[in-house]
Amino acid sequence: NAGVTQTPKFRVLKTGQSMTLLCAQDMNHEYMYWYRQDPGMGLRLIHYSVGEGTTAKGEVPDGYNVSRLKKQNFLLGLESAAPSQTSVYFCASGWDRDNSPLHFGNGTRLTVT
């Protein structure tokens, strides 16, 4: 039972490049989330999904897109990376809207130069 798996673990991009971060969960969770973590700012919600085929905006959605074509996968895309998107990205999943508990992956460290 792997839980929540994020790939890649590290990535360096040049400004303007694109990439996709993959999140996979094997717990049959309905809810999935993408957060970014920056020093002194905690975890901020980018986008989330309440089920297969659904997505919704979080607190800081600009510059990101997401897709949930399969229940177990939640993809985060950066179409044109900017230095402000340098961060550690965490995916999380949960059973239902009660948010208890959220299971997090180990993160993707992204640097945009």
Partner 1 sequence: GENVEQHPSTLSVQEGDSAVIKCTYSDSASNYFPWYKQELGKGPQLIIDIRSNVGEKKDQRIAVTLNKTAKHFSLHITETQPEDSAVYFCAASNLGNEKLTFGTGTRLTIIP
Q: Which residues bind partner 1 (CB under 8 A)?
A: 4, 31, 35, 40-45, 48, 50, 56, 58-59, 90, 92, 97-102, 104-107
Residue 1 identity: N
Nearer to partner 1, 17 or 103 (CB): 103
* DSSP letters spanning 43-107: EEEEEEESSTT--EE-SS-TT-EEE-SSTTEEEEEESS--GGG-EEEEEEEESSTT--S-EE---
Q: How far is the CB of 15 from partner 1 (least distance, A)?
A: 27
Q: How far is the CB of 107 from partner 1 (least distance, A)?
A: 6
Nearer to partner 1, 26 or 59 (CB): 59
Q: How far is the CB of 28 from partner 1 (least distance, A)?
A: 17
Q: How far is the CB of 92 from partner 1 (least distance, A)?
A: 7
Nearer to partner 1, 41 or 82 (CB): 41
Q: Which long-range contacts (CB under 8 A, 24 or more apart) does 42-49 make?
A: 43/90, 46/76, 46/89, 47/76, 49/74
Nearer to partner 1, 85 or 93 (CB): 93
Residue 97 identity: R
